[in-house]
Amino acid sequence: MIRIGIDVGGTNTDAVVMDGSTVIAGVKAATTADVMTGVVNALKDVLAASGMAASAVDVVMIGTTHFTNAVVQRRDLAQTAAVRLGLPATASLPPMVDWPEDLKQAIGGTWYLAHGGNEFDGRVISPLNEEELLGIAADIKAKGINTVAISSVFSPVTSDFEKQAGEIFAKALPGAHITLSSEIGRIGLLERENAAIMNACLRDLSAHVIAAFRAAITEAGIKGKFFLTQNDGTLMDAAFAEKFPVLTFASGPTNSMRGAAFLSGVKDAIVVDIGGTTSDVGSLHKGFPRQATVAVEVGGVRTNFRMPDVFSIGLGGGSHVVETRDGIKVGPTSVGYRIITEALIFGGDTLTTSDIVVASGRYELGDKSKVAHLPADLLARTQVKIMQMLEDCVERSRLSPDPLPVIVVGGGSILVDGPIGGLEVIKPNHFAVANAVGAAIAQVSGEVDRVYALAEISRDAALADAKQRATDAAVAAGARADSIEIVDVEDVPLAYLPGNATRVRVKAVGELHVA
Amino acid sequence: MSRKPLAESYRLGFDDLEALTIGAALLGTGGGGNPYIGFLRAREVFRQGATVPVIPLEVLTQDDWVGEVGGIGAPVVSAEKFEQGDEGTRALAAVEAELGIEVAAMISGEIGGANAMEPVITAAKLGIGIVDGDGMGRAFPEVQMCTFFIYGGGVAPAAIADEKGNVVVYKHVIDMFWLERMARHTTVDMGATAMLALPPMRGDFVQKTAVPATVTQAVHIGRTVLKARKARKNVVETVVEETGAKLFFTGKITDIRRHLVGGFARGEAILSGLGDWAGSEAKIAIQNENLVLWVDGVPVLMVPDLIVNLELDTGEPLTTEVLRYGQRLAVIGLPAHDLLKTEKALEIIGPKAFGYPDLTYNPLEGKAK
């Protein structure tokens, strides 16, 4: 199978061509304001570099920051109505209550509370009221809104009410984009609802962006299918991605960590992705990024997405190096993408970390003679500082005292010299485009998050049920049934609940099924 | 309904809620539940400009009744099915009706964590004040670990209310253990979250038994943290300088063990020293809250004194359930109030009561640097 992986970042659009598990070629192109031109350029460049005909490509996988940026920059967002089922419960905190005011205004800030919702054990809080929902639908229509997000209390336990309400709105508002919270998030109503509303307000944009990706791929002459990568390092097909754009949030760090695991062949490690301005550090567990356990904010909104637990510091290949009274200071300021004009080695007048590395003779880049004057003492002290900064964030990402290796990827990997904090360092081939490789090798997943009463069902039976549900979800998402593997099982006993209530989370992944 | 106004020392407003939440989280000593939902609810109630008078203990008299409400249930459920909004006032109204009285102020049973907010919300809705004090000065895992019960407060009438309008009143209860047991069962029937009103107390009793000035203390701690963050100053250092806290250890977690015993999360964290404590090792015992701190095998801090873990770089108070390998902490101590250190109190909330028969309570006052 010939596949192309693309990672559309803020600065660079990276692309790789892979034949099976071999990387044939990798390129970096500048990300363009319209995004699409950058994608077309990267596709053309990487095909040329690989010597591969466009017609030979079976599948294209894209990781993109487009939707995250739309929320962060509050642009291209649709007017959205949030409808929550659960009255009389939850009335004290309406939808979007913890949103930044500007983002709320950007999508119109329209919300409704209606009856419905379930208890933790599935009992009904109050029955669904069709008349009430039809009244809300009429009001939404009168406001000229065409996008609806529906949430219901404990919908991760039972999603019937959300589905029924979804059908009622679909009938009353023909052509409306409807997002159900149970399809996106897990337990934690505000966070799940926030994710559903953000997804809803991105639906108009996603239709446009997915169409543009499709056009870029067609323009490059590729006939294969295309997919987008999710924040958990797995794939969704174009039609699914168009319905769930919010699931692309944070796919960038995930892709680079997955790419690092793939390129190095190591599945349990710390990954350091060093770019031009920042380094992202996270930990890999069975080839997947360890996920954050606390609420993650996107654009100022709390969500409970499956986000990688990544720690960032201001250290990259373009970081400023400054001598101060307290010693050498590296970063957090950086020349960023202007490195090719501002760094000493490129004829500029700013001392950067890349200049230090080239002056030390550890890497060939730019004009070495421009940094020949740097004193050996400065080079040594800067290198010590860089390694200290890396050691510090690697230590934070370790989850056990086991001596895991450190995989270093990204364009700024040249900064690393020798072991970090006593841990072995691996710099795999193609390290500079690990994120595009991560996109190319993405798999397909299914996940469940449910509360079981172990007084009624044995722990083994509960885990088996959860695993089956996760497997079914993975197959439904496009995984080959014979390739499915359970990669994560977590059961947490819930304090203060009777009947031995336990919350079980299971994730299954499998290889993409290409027909 | 017009209630008797009490002399106030100042008022809590919209802008104090964040500081109160941060201070309450810190005084939670690792437990007490997450005050975030309570903070949001209080903010919605205060948004229209409401303010709540803070009543000093000194002004309370025998004729002033003080009400106490708190959330009861599973924290994970309250993150999904949060309040309708009037549960607290409904539960309170039921105990008031039972006694034929009206409360003149509210008080928190537990300032540390989520229950710092409930009395504030109820007081704002009723247009009355909150007493500057509480029943713990911190957080503890069980309702009876409260000065009001330690010093002979009544256990009935109590009432529990859900979001649907159900209210259950406990008219006669023989002791706190029975109230807790029955209330927990009812809570589960109600969907695992509810609001519990404890018996209103007379002002003179509250004056003698409440841990004083803890609302002010929480707000002060919160403001200190916010101010330090805004000025980009070291939060841990600022808290130590300005709140009477003492620094007992800085280190990195090298091991964390947990087990669930009888519905409580017990465990211990092992820390390897950093900075001034490089080369030393510390151990923290946990049961929902932080119980004991040992440095190099010597117990240096223990219940009922407050043991608080702050994230070393950000000064964020860490709850025991988020502790994990690799985190870098500053462990600070705050002295418990004298009411928590009497022989009677130590029987219930001293180190022996938490399963450390070999430890004799050694108060924080006058220790460390």
The model's pLDDT over B272-286, given as tens digits with 9 standing for 90+, comes to 999 899 999 999 999
Q: What are phi and psi of A408, to 5 degrees?
A: -110, 125
Q: Which of A30, A25, A32 is nearest to A48 (CA)?
A: A25
Is the CB of residue A389 less than 8 Å away from at least one CB of chain B?
no
Q: For B318, which residue in chain A has the nearest alpha carbon? A: A294
Question: B275: which 2 tokens?
Answer: 């900075």
Q: Which of B105, B262, B3 is nearest to A493 (CA)?
A: B262
How buried is A364 (Cβ within 10 angstroms: 0-12 exposed, 13-18 middle, 19+ buried)? Answer: exposed
Helical residues (DSSP H) of B70-150, grouped into ranges = 75-78, 87-99, 118-126, 147-150
User: Which pLDDT belongs to residue A308?
Assistant: 83
User: Which pLDDT belongs to residue A104?
Assistant: 95
Spatial contact of B246 and B333, defined as CB atoms under 8 Å apart: yes
Inter-chain CB proximity B81 and A125 less than 8 Å:
yes
How buried is B49 (Cβ within 10 angstroms: 0-12 exposed, 13-18 middle, 19+ buried)? Answer: exposed
Q: What is the DSSP letter of A118?
A: B
Give the C-alpha distances (Å, rounded to integers) separating B363 from A33, A472, B138, B302, B342: 64, 58, 16, 8, 11
Q: What are phi and psi of A278, to 5 degrees?
A: -130, 160
- Picking from A181, A201, A221, the residue at the C-terminal end of a domain is A201
Q: How many helices (H) does chain B have, and how many strands (E)? A: 11, 16
Question: B19: which 2 tokens?
Answer: 């500081």
CB neighbour list of residue A173: distance below 8 Å, 6 or more residues apart: A137, A140, A141, A146, A148
H or E segment at B310?
strand B306-311
Alpha-carbon distance A474 to A481, whole Å? 8
Alpha-carbon distance A62 to A64, whole Å? 6
Q: What mean pLDDT value characterizes chain B? A: 91
Alpha-carbon distance A138 to A140, whole Å? 5
DSSP structure string for B142-188: STTSSHHHHTT----SEEEE-TTS-EEEE---SSHHHHHHHHHHHHH
Divide the 515 residues of chain A into consecutive groups of 10 and give the mean pLDDT of each group.
Answer: 87 89 89 81 93 91 87 90 97 95 95 96 94 98 97 91 97 96 88 95 93 90 89 84 90 89 92 87 85 75 80 86 89 80 90 93 89 91 92 80 88 88 90 92 85 83 92 88 84 63 84 74
Q: Is residue A475 part of a domain?
A: yes
Spatial contact of B136 and B286, defined as CB atoms under 8 Å apart: no
Is the CB of residue A375 less than 8 Å away from at least one CB of chain B?
no
- Picking from A201, A220, A253, the residue at the C-terminal end of a domain is A201
Question: pLDDT band at residue B263, thresholds of 50, 70 and 90?
Answer: low
Question: Of B188, B192, B322, which has the smallest distance from its Cβ to A294's Cβ?
Answer: B322
Q: For A500, which residue in chain B has the nearest alpha carbon? A: B263
Alpha-carbon distance A14 to A17, whole Å? 11
Query: What number of other Cβ atoms are within 10 A of residue B275's Cβ?
Result: 12
Spatial contact of A155 and A193, defined as CB atoms under 8 Å apart: no
Model confidence pLDDT, tens digit, residues B320-337: 877 877 788 999 999 999
Could you tell me if the ipTM is greater than 0.85?
yes
Q: Which of A57, A48, A42, A50 is nearest to A8 (CA)?
A: A42
Q: Is residue A496 part of a domain?
A: yes
Residues 267-326 of A with CB under 8 A from B: 293-294
Best residue of A85, A90, A92 to probe chain B, by most B CBs closer than 10 Å: A92
Q: Is residue A334 part of a domain?
A: no
Spatial contact of A460 and A50, defined as CB atoms under 8 Å apart: no
Is the CB of residue B255 less than 8 Å away from at least one CB of chain A?
yes
Inter-chain CB proximity B75 and A496 less than 8 Å:
yes
Q: What are phi and psi of A22, to 5 degrees?
A: -105, 135
Alpha-carbon distance A277 to A318, whole Å? 6
Q: What is the DSSP letter of A69?
A: H
Q: For A292, which residue in chain B has the nearest alpha carbon? A: B322
Best residue of A98, A120, A388 to probe chain B, by most B CBs closer than 10 Å: A120
Inter-chain CB proximity B84 and A92 less than 8 Å:
yes
User: Which pLDDT belongs to residue A497?
Assistant: 59
Q: Is residue A380 part of a domain?
A: no
Domain with A83 in it = 78-201
Is the CB of residue B18 less than 8 Å away from at least one CB of chain A?
no
Q: Is residue A429 part of a domain?
A: no
Strand ranges for A162-291 from DSSP E = 177-180, 225-229, 235-237, 269-274, 279-285, 288-289
Helical residues (DSSP H) of A202-291, grouped into ranges = 203-219, 238-243, 251-264
Q: Is residue A372 part of a domain?
A: no
Alpha-carbon distance A423 to A292, whole Å? 23
Q: Is residue A170 part of a domain?
A: yes
Alpha-carbon gap: B299 to the closest alpha carbon of chain A (Å) = 25
Question: A17: which 2 tokens?
Answer: 């061509």
Question: A61: which 2 tokens?
Answer: 């996988």
Alpha-carbon distance B238 to B224, whole Å? 7
Alpha-carbon distance A490 to A199, whole Å? 27
Is the CB of residue B189 less than 8 Å away from at least one CB of chain A?
no
Q: How many domains does chain A have?
A: 2
Query: pTM for this structure?
Result: 0.85
Alpha-carbon distance A381 to A377, whole Å? 6
User: Which pLDDT belongs to residue B369?
Assistant: 42
Task: Look at B265 and A303; give whichever has higher pLDDT.
Answer: A303
Kindly tell me if the per-residue pLDDT of B368 is higher than 50. Answer: no
Q: For B329, which residue in chain A has the nearest alpha carbon? A: A396
CATH number of residue A120's parent domain: 3.40.50
Spatial contact of A306 and A231, defined as CB atoms under 8 Å apart: yes
Q: Which of B351, B340, B316 is nearest to B330 (CA)?
A: B316
- Picking from A146, A169, A201, the residue at the C-terminal end of a domain is A201
H or E segment at B286?
strand B281-287
User: Which pLDDT belongs to residue A456?
Assistant: 82
Angle between helices B235-243 and B214-230 (to 10 degrees): 140
Inter-chain CB proximity B73 and A496 less than 8 Å:
yes
Model confidence pLDDT, tens digit, residues B155-208: 999 999 999 999 999 999 999 889 988 998 999 899 989 999 999 999 999 999
The partner residues of A271 in beta bridges, in order of sequence, read A282, A407
